[in-house]
Amino acid sequence: MTRLSVNVNKIAVLRNSRGGNDPDVLSAARACLAAGAHGITVHPRPDRRHIVAEDLPPLAQATAQYGVELNIEGNPFAPPRQGYPGLLALCAQVRPAQVTLVPDSDGQLTSDHGFDLSGDLGALAAHVHDFAALGCRVSLFVDAGNPHVERVAEVGAQRIEIYTGPYAHAHAGGDPSAALAACAATAHRARAAGLGVNAGHDLSQANLGAFVAGVAEVDEVSIGHALISEALYAGLEPTVRAYLQVLAG
């Protein structure tokens, strides 16, 4: 079954809007794990607008206690600055099971595109090597239909994460067939290159079932915004269990 990693960034956004520690990111993560989530995802950004460096050690401890994975997302090219020591330093501190590299700029609202993967990938390969040396599995964020997806294996990463925003948009519009086919083809090519396949962005209870039915052998989906939004009405644990039911088919 495809595993569910819950992104708890939006819990931190709400906390940071008032200061203090309410709502508590760690308590929210533990509620998700108690409901059966297979992992926790976070994306600490240099501007510290949601998950911050201080959140990571307790989250790493919680996922270890539950025997599941912590996945840290981020741009490896973003330089360190006050309050943000850099993605590699953060991962060196807590040694997540997986690091997902994304090409976000500092001011980007959310991840909305994958790596291009054309041209010289030497600098990216060097970053992948550094994270792998920490014992992290490395996944690269890619667009569905990227013509160079096989190069992810060339730079030393073990997985791709398919950016599913266009699929979710097409599903909401009533005709997801082309976007779903692009995701399926990308997953197939990645598998043929020896890569694992993750997926994420704008996945929800409304579109997740069709996605996992149409894209074979997805290892993991990372879901945050929709899941946390739905949990405002139903609660975290029931919402996580509902997503797990969708994944179970």
The residue annotated as part of the active site, out of 38, 50, 69, 73, is 73
Q: Is 73 a catalytic residue?
A: yes
> CB 141: neighbour CB atoms within 10 A?
22
The helix (H) or strand (E) run that includes residue 211 is helix 205-214
Instruction: Evaluate the CA torsion angle 138, 130, 6, 116 in order and state its sign.
Output: negative
The residue annotated as part of the active site, out of 38, 43, 50, 171, is 43
User: What values do phi and psi take at 84, rounded to 5?
Assistant: -140, 100
The residue annotated as part of the active site, out of 50, 69, 201, 220, is 201
Burial environment of residue 152 by CB neighbours within 10 A (0 to 12, 13 to 18, 19 or more): buried
Q: Is 201 a catalytic residue?
A: yes
Q: Is 154 a catalytic residue?
A: no
Return the structure tokens found at 191.
Answer: 């598998």
Name the region of 136 (left: φ>0; alpha: ψ -120 to 50; beta: rest): beta
Beta strands in 1-132 (DSSP E): 3-7, 39-42, 69-74, 98-101
The set of catalytic residues is 43, 73, 201
